[in-house]
């Protein structure tokens, strides 16, 4: 029997995957711009709890622009090694500055410098331009901490719909769909 709480189910799935040596951070994030044109890319999932699913980015990136224009998104986690997939759909919100600052401070210094140096999703004339920008930021913060750029931070996807897929023999897969109804969840079983 499935748990009544999909977050509990998700955290159990992460635990199962981790026990099998599966990297659970990369997820596919789908967004759509104001006109509904979709885009999908891999991001690192940096938190999951009762409040939602957290990832971070440059706020001028295509994904952040999409989320600003159309605050609906979907995440797909697929772990072939354990034959499980989880699809999460909902609305997004910005994380507060403190949460973004805390996560940024935990990143490796090189990643912190890279966040300042990259104008994510803008056209880049050459690799050398990026490397020069990196060196300039490295010099700027030489010997001191690297603060979070004001154009970088986190988003939280607040789930409205979570579907779990479990691979089974003869394509008789198990699919459980959780639909948010206020503060509770309704669970449905779907045909494979």
Secondary structure class of 63 (helix, strand, coil): helix
pLDDT digits (tens, 9 = 90+) for 12-70: 999 999 999 999 999 999 999 999 999 999 999 999 999 999 999 999 999 999 999 99
Contact 108, 117 (CB under 8 A): no
DSSP string for residues in 15-64 = HHHHHTT---SEEEEEEE-TT--EEEEEEE--EEETTEEEEEEETTSHHH
Whole-number percent of the chain with pLDDT over 70: 99
- Tally of CB atoms within 10 A around 129: 12
Catalytically annotated residues: 171
- pLDDT of 2 higher than 80: no
Phi and psi based region of residue 185 (left: phi greater than 0; alpha: psi -120 to 50; beta: remaining)? beta
Where do the domains of the chain lie? 6-101+151-190
User: At how many degrees (to 10) do helices 109-117 and 127-140 cross?
Assistant: 120
Q: Which CATH class is domain 6-101+151-190?
A: mainly beta
pLDDT at 3: 81
Assessment of whether the complete model's pTM goes beyond 0.95? no
């Amino acid at each position: 029997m499935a748990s009544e709480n999909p977050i509990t189910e998700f955290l159990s799935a992460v635990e199962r995957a981790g026990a099998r040596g599966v990297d659970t951070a990369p997820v596919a994030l789908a967004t759509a711009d104001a006109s509904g044109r979709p885009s999908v890319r891999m991001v690192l999932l940096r938190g999951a709890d009762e409040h939602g699913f957290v990832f971070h980015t440059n706020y001028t990136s295509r994904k952040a622009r999409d989320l600003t224009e159309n605050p609906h998104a979907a995440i797909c986690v697929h772990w072939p090694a354990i034959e499980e997939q989880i699809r999460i759909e909902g609305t997004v919100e910005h994380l507060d500055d403190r949460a973004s600052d805390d996560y940024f401070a935990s990143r490796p210094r090189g990643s912190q410098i890279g966040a300042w140096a990259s104008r994510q999703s803008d056209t880049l004339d050459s690799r050398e331009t990026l490397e020069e920008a990196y060196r300039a930021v490295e010099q700027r913060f030489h010997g001191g901490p690297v603060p979070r750029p004001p154009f970088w931070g986190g988003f939280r996807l607040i789930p409205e719909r979570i579907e779990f897929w479990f691979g089974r023999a003869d394509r008789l897969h198990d699919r459980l769909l959780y639909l948010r109804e206020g503060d509770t969840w309704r669970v449905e079983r779907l045909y494979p």
